[in-house]
Amino acid sequence: MGADSVRSESASDGFWDLYSRYYDAINQLMPYRKLLWDVYQALDLQPGMRVLDAGCGTGNFEAFIAEKDPPDVRIEALDFSPRMLRVARGKCDRLGAYTFEQADLNRPLPYADATFDGS
């Protein structure tokens, strides 16, 4: 990996960590709330489902799902930014079977094919 790649990744880290401070303001926008609702409906959550949220940000979707009193599902949420994940964990600490892990979504994920029922 060249020096330019390292600088590029560091700049990206900094951007998402900084953006995490303001990210939740998007929750106030109706088009964003509608998007969350549309995704929620499309998933048609059923008991026992396992769902992947790749690029979970601050856990807005997980918090949205919890508001709907969902069936017993497991959600594995991934994001690149450690700061986004800290916010997500704090926001969703007691909401359900959600895990938040750091992952570079530009690389292969550590899951076998057909691991999830929805993503």
Q: How many domains does the chain have?
A: 1
Model pLDDT, residue 13 = 65
CB atoms inside a 10 Å sphere around CB 12? 14
Model pLDDT, residue 119 = 67
Q: Which has more pLDDT, 74 or 5?
A: 74
- Report the pLDDT averaged over residues 25-42: 90
Whether residue 35 is contained in a domain is answered as yes
- What average pLDDT is seen over the chain? 84
Whether residue 118 is contained in a domain is answered as no
Cα(first)–Cα(last) distance of the chain, in Å?
31
Q: Give me the helix-helix angle, 60-67 and 30-43, nearest 10°.
A: 70
Q: Which domain, by its residues, includes 56?
A: 3-102
pTM value is 0.79
Whether residue 111 is contained in a domain is answered as no
Q: Which has more pLDDT, 97 or 80?
A: 80
Distances, alpha carbon 56 to alpha carbons 2, 3, 6, 8, 76, in Å = 29, 29, 24, 21, 9
Whether residue 8 is contained in a domain is answered as yes
